[in-house]
Amino acid sequence: MHISEGVLSAPVLVAGGVLAAGGVGLGLRRMTPDKIPAVALLSSTFFVASLIHVPLGPASVHLVLNGLTGLVLGWMAFPALLVGLALQAVLFQFGGLTTLGVNTCIMAAPAVAVSYLFQPFAGSLNRILVFVSGALCGALALLTSSVLIALCLVFTGRHFLEVAQLTVAAHVPIMVIEGMLSGFTVLFLRKVKPEILGAAADVISPA
């Protein structure tokens, strides 16, 4: 899901950088000292999970767990994912530094969006509702990210249309896997550490 260097047009790169800067700024404003461990944990989880990937043209297919990250962190998903992406770009040449802003938006914006939709249900006493909300959170975040990749490619040039369609289609099976994994993870967290699912409750809306 990392877009590589030299693929996107300058306007897309600039727009992605500006939006990412805004999201990271909002996330940092809400990152109190007691929330830093959760941010570090989710950033590390994303870093490890997305190391195993299958290259697909200018992007790649892999687990992202951005839905789970957004559900727990809210707006703090922006700085958490930015750190993971920056380390991957520097250490493993996944993505790139010029595309860091775009890649951050592609993964963090859907994470914040699903936190608005599903965070209120994550703390429910109904285990089925908790699992379903976690699963939808993971699947829809990944779906939205793949669509955003496709849009970035299409806005760069119409010749990327076929690659954009392939990118979305290739992520469909990953959506199912990520949805199930996120659902079971949220269900587990609801049982052993329910307070962590409320960590984003005060950060999913701008101050």
DSSP string computed for the chain: -PPPTT-S-HHHHHHHHHHHHHHHHHHHHT--GGGHHHHHHHHHHHHHHTTSEEEETTEEEE---HHHHHHHHGGGHHHHHHHHHHHHHHHH-SS-STTHHHHHHHHHHHHHHHHHHHHHHHT-S-HHHHHHHHHHHHHHHHHHHHHHHHHHHHHH-GGGHHHHHHHHHHTHHHHHHHHHHHHHHHHHHHHH-GGGGGTTTTTSS--
pLDDT under 70: residue ranges of the chain: 1, 53-61, 198-207
pLDDT number for residue 53: 67
pLDDT number for residue 202: 45
pLDDT number for residue 14: 94
The CATH-assigned architecture of domain 10-198 is Orthogonal Bundle (1.10)
pLDDT number for residue 206: 45
pLDDT number for residue 54: 62
